[in-house]
Structure 1
């Protein structure tokens, strides 16, 4: 267990998740004051919280809920208990589920610049998590979960039956690597390796409105790109002075598509480096960014976002063509031919209202 302020903290700055440092189900806007201020190039360790185990359909009492799966009270994160018991605003029906930590002001960031978010470290904070399916959501709404429908908001004096299906998943170490263990009866279980990443990283939008945490956009947010593991970089177009970076929705593992609704959701201690890239330099390096852009040690990742999956794919193709044309000097028709022969377009997720497609371009193809 990695309780707040305990254990290894690698960043120059440390940001716990508390009722004062987070929003629940909403994203920071231009008017949200920063909870931390850092210089460009500084590193920050953030104790992110998962929403699973604290939501209303789970009782908003993580100690009691997890006890039903045999988890003793001392194996429950203190910050999860504190947030669930706090007066932080959250409505199951109108807000997103995510616990969003921040915002962090980065000195010198101005609209038109790009914020580079390098993921330097991701530490598992608890040896368990959940994979959940809820009524009206996921890739097969109306088909899953195969329980009675959610009865909706309770009348005065009545109760509500959410009928969500939340699969408790234990984390164990096997052969020197952490694995999720998903039991399915008669002593059998599926075992799959963990590949942690933050599903939600973004910058504030230039609006007085507080945005819902579920749909991603040009600001980043709930991108759910499973390639954003340790060693990756995410590039976000800055929209307000100071950028106002935030993070949340930690995952231990996620398949492309995230079809049930959630991945293996569980808390992470994330260390990131936040660097401002001035507008002129960003344009030279990355081209004109309309959407977030990412890279790993091996691949560049142009991104396409839209409520229609076909259009999300088209936008990812356009972004990839534009990237190769601008940064590699490749004619656009040749770039399209290369992408058709050698690149992969993967579905990031189909469950966040705005669907995502990311392209994988091998760096070694461009010596």
Structure 2
């Protein structure tokens, strides 16, 4: 039988300030600046100010291994899996007096960043330029009462595949340790399946949480996404993508967190492969006057990749989230290209792919993938 504590752990941890920092500005995750489980609002002081169009390298920090049901001691928790090099900012946040209880979201939220010249009514354009793994490991967790099968899973709180090494986790949580190895010329994630077997899957990193401050006076919980972005968990926001966020307050007050190495649409267990990333982003402002030419009349977050546009729909009810996504996709095509709304709906029925982003964040998400090639002649 293969012992998970002796399996290869490749790679060196990217500690705060070490290694490549390609952005013009650098933002580490500091315990005295982050928001644990809550999102910044319009009254939150910015921790950094950058010009319109600046590039920013930010060290995002996964919450897995830091949480109370994992002992709130990442060095001790990770030692079970043979991990010796733990991120210093993970240790700092977990040991800090920051409160993170049952009523708080789990996410370590870094920011906010004031973007000079951004005004309410504008759109913040976030170009994802680079995503570097800070560690060669992460976790996929299922916490009792959450996930697509809440009340059915966890079926086995002893989790035979993992509990032979994972002795610290408690309170009805099953956390599957995953590690990164190179196999057949590519990096993959692996999970212990018991009996000396492993489950393998591809990696496609992205930040699950990027957003701008909502025009409210109190912090919002970090779990549900909203028109300001936040925890949208759209897996297509990887390197080369752009996320468009409606600006609700002057300066935008951008924030980021919830880094993932991989996620399937739906994120059904509760978490993706949660693991810390160093993200390099470009933050640019689309003026209100130019918004229609970019986003049409779509509201809420919109994602753009090299091949697709992805309007989103968000709602507590999945059926209503789907309706919101359809409305936003129609509004995108009608507003940007002037195609009649009835024709836009017919086109989407023939060629638009509606995918469930996630069903586990209280507010559920659906995104529509619109192929750019179909609209090349309309540009």
- One fold, TM greater than 0.5? yes
- Structure 1 stretch displaced more, 40-49 or 16-25: 16-25
CA distance in 1, matches of 2:346, 2:186: 39
In structure 2, C-alpha distance between the alignment counterparts of 1:39 and 1:125, rounded to whole Å: 26
Query: Mapping of 1:187-266 within 5 angstroms?
Result: 187-266=196-275
Distance 2:273 2:314 in 1: 23
Give 2:186's aligned residue. Answer: 177
Q: 2:32 aligns with which of 5, 20, 34?
A: 20
Moved more, 265-274 or 170-179: 170-179
Shift of 1:276: 0.7
Match of 2:91 in 1: 81
- SS where residue 231 of structure 1 aligns? coil
- Residue of structure 1 in register with 2:161 after alignment: none
Deviations, residues 15-34 of structure 1 (Å, cap 9, x unaligned): 00011221000000111100
* CA distance in structure 2 between the aligned counterparts of 1:65 and 1:279, rounded to whole angstroms: 48
CA positional deviation for 1:326 = 1.4
1:39 equivalent among 45, 48, 51: 51
Equivalent-residue separation in structure 2 for 1:144 and 1:275 (angstroms): 42
TM score, norm. by length of structure 1? 0.95
Aligned to 1:166: 175
Compared with structure 1, are the counterparts of its residues 134 and 208 closer, same or farther at alpha carbon in structure 2 (3 Å cutoff)?
same
1:101-112 matched pairs, under 5 angstroms: 101-112=110-121
Shift of the alpha carbon at 1:290?
2.2
Tell me what 1:59 maps to.
71
Give the direction of change, closer, same or farther, for the CA distance of 1:288–1:334 in structure 2 (3 Å limit): closer
- Deviation at residue 223 of structure 1 after TM alignment: 0.2
1:161 Cα shift?
A: 4.6
Please identify, of 313-322 and 278-287, the stretch whose mean Cα deviation from structure 2 is larger. 278-287
Distance 1:45 1:172 in 2: 25
Equivalent in the alignment of 1:279: 288
Secondary structure class of the residue paired with 2:100:
coil
Alpha-carbon deviation of 1:163?
2.3
Distance 1:15 1:348 in 2: 28
Asked if the contact 1:147–1:163 (Cα under 8 Å) also holds between the matched residues in 2, the reply is no
| Equivalent of residue 295 in structure 1, options 291, 300, 304 | 304
From 344, 369, 372, the counterpart of 1:335:
344
2:57 paired with 1:48: no
What is the Cα deviation at residue 148 of structure 1? 5.4
TM-score (norm 2): 0.92
- Deviation sequence 1:165-199 (CA, Å, 0-9, x none): 00000111223322101120222111111000000
Question: Which moves more between the two structures, 272-281 or 139-148?
Answer: 139-148
Structure 2: gaps of 5 or more residues: 1-12, 159-168
What does the per-residue CA deviation read over 1:203-229, in whole Å, with 9 as the maximum and x for residues that have no partner?
Answer: 001111110000000000000000000
- Contact kept, 8 Å, 2:296 with 2:333, in 1: the verdict is no
CA drift at 1:82: 0.7
Is the contact between residue 310 and residue 367 of structure 2 (CA under 8 Å) also seen in structure 1? yes
Could you say what secondary structure the match of 2:342 adopts?
helix
* Distance of 1:295 and 1:136 partners within structure 2: 34
Q: Secondary structure at the match of 1:206?
A: coil
Counterpart-to-counterpart distance in 1, 2:182 and 2:72: 29
Q: Secondary structure at 2:89's aligned position in 1?
A: helix
Question: Could you tell me how far apart the structure 2 residues matched to 1:120 and 1:21 are?
Answer: 24
RMSD: 1.2
Aligned length: 354
**Which one is further off, 250-259 or 176-185?**
176-185
Partner of 1:116: 125
In 2: Cα distance, 1:291 partner to 1:223 partner: 11
Partner Cα separation in structure 1 for residue 357 and residue 341 of structure 2: 25
Give 1:146 deviation, angstroms: 1.6
